[in-house]
Amino acid sequence: MVFHGFNAEHLYPVPRLTVVSQASCSQVKRETVDPKTCSPKEFLEMFIFPVLLPGMASLLHQAKKEKCFERKRTKFIACDFLTEWLYNPRPAIPLSLLLTESEAALCIQSFWRAYLVRCDPEIQELRQWQKKLREDKHIRQRVKIFWGKQEQKVKCKMEDEDEAAAKTPQP
Whether residue 50 contacts residue 43, with contact meaning beta carbons closer than 8 Å, is answered with no
Instruction: Look at residue 171 in the predicted model and tell me its pLDDT.
Output: 58
How much is the average pLDDT of 100-122? 93
Q: Please report which confidence band the pLDDT of residue 133 belongs to, taking 50, 70 and 90 as the band edges.
A: confident
Q: How far apart are CA 59 and CA 80, in angstroms?
A: 10
Whether residue 170 is predicted with pLDDT greater than 70 in this model: the reply is: no
How much is the average pLDDT of 89-101? 84
Whether residue 137 is predicted with pLDDT greater than 60 in this model: the reply is: yes
Q: How far apart are CA 114 and CA 128, in angstroms?
A: 17
Prediction pTM value: 0.40
Map residue 142 onto helix, strand or coil. helix
Instruction: Look at residue 18 in the predicted model and tell me its pLDDT.
Output: 40
Instruction: Look at residue 20 in the predicted model and tell me its pLDDT.
Output: 42
Whether residue 124 contacts residue 118, with contact meaning beta carbons closer than 8 Å, is answered with yes
Q: How far apart are CA 33 and CA 106, in angstroms?
A: 40
More confident site: 126 or 160: 126
Question: Furthest-apart CA pair in the chain: how many Å?
Answer: 111
Highest mean pLDDT: which range of 14-18, 77-81, 134-138, 156-160: 77-81
